Structure 1
Amino acid sequence: MTTSAASKGKILIVGAGLSGAVIGRHLAQDGYGVTIVDSRDHIGGNCHTERDAESGVMVHVYGPHIFHTDDEEVWDYVNTFETFMPYKNRVKTTSKGQVFSLPVNLHTINQFFDKTMRPDEARQFITEEQADTSIEDPQTFEEQAMRFVGKELYEAFFKGYTMKQWGCHPSELPASILKRLPVRFNYDDNYFFHKFQGMPQNGYTVMIERMLDCSGIEVRLNTTFSAEMAEGYEHVFYAGPLDGYFDYKLGRLGYRTLDFERFNYEGDYQGCAVMNYGEVDVPYTRITEHKHFAPWENHEKSVCYREFSRAAEPADIPYYPIRQVKEKALLSEYVELANAASGVTFVGRLGTYRYLDMDVTIREALDTARGFVEAQQKGVKVPAFFVAPV
């Protein structure tokens, strides 16, 4: 993380996660002097990884992050900074005293209903005997699930997990949360469909360190942004909470946050990286065993997290934007404030109040940096958002 005299002006970036690192590097290479500030004592944001001193396991400190994308440019980009090892996310779930495979696939269906159906038989069985075809236009999460898999699979694998994750009944959530129900009528248990999938060999933090190791970039940790800090900079890229930039003057946008109960284990605790718990009487949503996120490594000991979801309080780390009716209304008001502001562009998950996968975050950061350079060349106003959050 080095710095040198800027030839094109000074840029301030708030947030040393993926958005800030990608934008910062691109602009530094284009001749700007870049200062990146972050309130935490480390880079990487919620992607931060570090090795556990006792076990040697690479720990995803803020919960697991699995890289998957169909965007070849983004895949090539991350591999410039770190070698991505092959990794397929194969999730298991405990329900009704048994362990099943997710997403729901032919093995799950046959095991759950104690059958040995072929793909066409299973499809017909779900469509004709399980799915509630009277629901023609699903409006809620519950209706979407009932329409496509039926009551039994919905209650076993989706209802309880969703209630714990979002803190409300699935009938209160929009159908869009379950955009496409992951049901497969074959034995494919790879959680993602994407062409490129993997894990950084030495963790995400090492990857982001290499992104930031660029002439023209200065990183200041343990530094909380304030409006006065923007003085003297040509432009600010803000990856913090959108409402926080305006001191929450209109109220706070809603988030869910996660609590992690970390524990060590002598040996292999659960035999897989992710075990979901779909039943409401189990207070946590899942257990993650971090050594299984790096199957190319061998570790005798293990580090595990139990995950608990709850409504975020002001002092909590925000994870998932709620984006229900009242939040969208408030978001629209903040977007108006942002569009009226000058000299600032809002980026990333918090800055645009959207849940973003890592590949989309990187894609939008690249496009934003390029868009900024182009706007400067043309002498036009840099927008508050390169991707509209509403």
Structure 2
Amino acid sequence: MNIVVVGAGFSGAVIGRCLAEAEFKVTVLDSRDHPAGNCHTERCQETGVMVHTYGPHIFHTDNQRVWDYVTSFGEFMPYRNQVKSTVGAAVYSLPINLHTINQFFGKTFDPQQARAFIETTQADTSIADPQNFEEQALRFVGPALYEAFFKGYTEKQWGCAPSELPASILKRLPLRFNYNDNYFAHQYQGIPKDGYTALIENILDHPGIDVQLSTPYTRAHAEHAEHVFWSGPLDGYFGEKLGRLGYRTLDFERFTKTGDWQGCAVMNYGDPDVPFTRITEHKHFAPWEEHEGTVCYREYSRSCGPNDIPYYPIRLVQEKALLSHYEALAEAEEGVTFVGRLGTYRYLDMDVTIAEAMTHAETFLAKHGAAAS
């Protein structure tokens, strides 16, 4: 069988590799001139720094199978995501932890004192069942910490009031009553030593896979395929005939300097009068390397236009209603499997993307395995 996989990111690469190893003939198409999608990394010619071209990606997972899979295609270096935030005239540690609480309130609490302080003097305990992001934050940390670290940043990131966003967005962020400032709590955390693009190129490196870059998908490709795996935008597959699903996109203001510009990989800016959400300094994502020069990105979030790169699905009431209609079209479409962040219109971490890609491939093989021989 001939298989067409649209998109050379993690979803497409993993599915393509699984099917190629089962002796299917796989063609992987990508409209960009490089594989790896938004995980693409490349060396800055000026500084030698490995740059996360579309914003930083830190791999983190508790899934042993996924970890074993990615590390079989490339060496991973340990990496802890330790975010800082500039608020007013001070720099704080994120996620909110004991150091953040003590510094912000000018206290010297121990863990038990800090927990009691937040619960009894800050958190709005009258909110029994938070219905949106703002209510979740007020119940979670109270108005002072919410205003400082979440309200302005969230308004810039999502372009709407936090009261319009689901509570689930904030539930993903930890609140710690110790001095642990590691953003993630997963067993495995790291970044590929040679970058994500090299990792995905290794996954795609199989004689049964034909990778065609700078090649947008057309319906003509499907005429020569028994099955299509689509990891592009769900609405894009159907020509947006029901309307466009909403996304946020990012603009990057790149600049280079000499030395260490900000002293950390990620500096958030929570104040609403600062137009960007954060500054990332990319050589800090590879602390095992040494570079005299440095590459930084200021990130600006805005609504995604027709020709922009979609990053974050908005998934508000209007989008969810439209999504249900597109999901019905996708369900009725024969010979196509919709996969990944764009194909399913969900925010997915990389490990979940890989795990789902494996499942999609295995489901296909269980149904068509006889054809592989």
- Give the TM-score of the pair, scaled to structure 1: 0.94
Q: Does residue 328 in structure 1 map to residue 340 in structure 2? A: no
Aligned to 1:298: 290
Aligned to 2:56: 64
Deviation of the 1:226 alpha carbon = 1.4
2:260 paired residue among 261, 268, 274 = 268
Q: Does residue 122 in structure 1 map to residue 101 in structure 2? A: no
Aligned to 2:38: 46
Which residue identity does 1:21 align to in structure 2? A
How is 1:13-28 mapped onto 2 (pairs within 5 angstroms)?
13-28=5-20
**SS of equivalent residue, structure 1 residue 81:** coil
How is 1:204-353 mapped onto 2 (pairs within 5 angstroms)?
204-353=196-345
Report the Cα distance in structure 2 between the residues aligned to 1:13 and 1:86, rounded to whole angstroms.
31
Aligned to 2:129: 137
Which residue identity does 1:114 align to in structure 2? G
Deviation of the 1:181 alpha carbon = 4.5
Once the two structures are superposed, residues 237-256 of structure 1 have per-residue CA deviations (whole angstroms, 9 ceiling, x without a partner) of 00000000000000000000
Report the Cα distance in structure 2 between the residues aligned to 1:272 and 1:319, rounded to whole angstroms.
24
Aligned to 2:47: 55
Once the two structures are superposed, residues 337-388 of structure 1 have per-residue CA deviations (whole angstroms, 9 ceiling, x without a partner) of 1111100000000000001111011100111111100011489xxxxxxxxx
How many residues are paired up?
Answer: 371
Aligned to 1:384: none
Q: Structure 1 pair 260/268, CA: closer, same or farther in 2 (3 Å)? A: same
Which residue identity does 1:307 align to in structure 2? E
**SS of equivalent residue, structure 1 residue 153:** helix
**SS of equivalent residue, structure 1 residue 310:** strand
Aligned partners of 1:148 and 1:181 also within 8 Å: no
Report the Cα distance in structure 2 between the residues aligned to 1:332 and 1:290, rounded to whole angstroms.
38
Aligned to 1:194: 186
1:365 paired residue among 349, 357, 362 = 357
Aligned to 1:82: 74
1:177 paired residue among 169, 174, 198 = 169
Aligned partners of 2:164 and 2:316 also within 8 Å: no
Segments of 5+ residues of structure 2 without an aligned counterpart are none
Report the Cα distance in structure 2 between the residues aligned to 1:104 and 1:341, rounded to whole angstroms.
45
Aligned partners of 2:256 and 2:295 also within 8 Å: yes
Report the Cα distance in structure 2 between the residues aligned to 1:284 and 1:180, rounded to whole angstroms.
22
Deviation of the 1:223 alpha carbon = 0.8
Report the Cα distance in structure 2 between the residues aligned to 1:119 and 1:172, rounded to whole angstroms.
33
Report the Cα distance in structure 2 between the residues aligned to 1:336 and 1:13, rounded to whole angstroms.
21
Deviation of the 1:228 alpha carbon = 2.1
Deviation of the 1:151 alpha carbon = 0.4
**SS of equivalent residue, structure 1 residue 125:** helix
Once the two structures are superposed, residues 249-297 of structure 1 have per-residue CA deviations (whole angstroms, 9 ceiling, x without a partner) of 0000000000000000111000000000001000000000000000000
CA-based RMSD of the aligned residues comes to 1.0
Which residue identity does 2:257 align to in structure 1? Y
Once the two structures are superposed, residues 283-341 of structure 1 have per-residue CA deviations (whole angstroms, 9 ceiling, x without a partner) of 00000000000000011110000000000000000000000111011000001111111
Aligned to 1:203: 195
Once the two structures are superposed, residues 193-225 of structure 1 have per-residue CA deviations (whole angstroms, 9 ceiling, x without a partner) of 100000100000001111111011001111111
Aligned to 2:22: 30
Report the Cα distance in structure 1 between the residues aligned to 2:347 and 2:226, rounded to whole angstroms.
29
2:104 paired residue among 95, 106, 112 = 112
Aligned partners of 1:17 and 1:44 also within 8 Å: yes
Aligned to 1:386: none
Aligned partners of 1:89 and 1:190 also within 8 Å: yes
Once the two structures are superposed, residues 6-59 of structure 1 have per-residue CA deviations (whole angstroms, 9 ceiling, x without a partner) of xxx100000011111000011001010000111001111000000011111000
Which residue identity does 1:308 align to in structure 2? Y
Q: Structure 1 pair 104/326, CA: closer, same or farther in 2 (3 Å)? A: same
Aligned to 1:6: none
**SS of equivalent residue, structure 1 residue 211:** helix
Report the Cα distance in structure 2 between the residues aligned to 1:339 and 1:181, rounded to whole angstroms.
33
Deviation of the 1:179 alpha carbon = 1.9
Segments of 5+ residues of structure 1 without an aligned counterpart are 1-8, 380-390
Aligned partners of 2:30 and 2:215 also within 8 Å: yes
Report the Cα distance in structure 1 between the residues aligned to 2:162 and 2:315, rounded to whole angstroms.
14
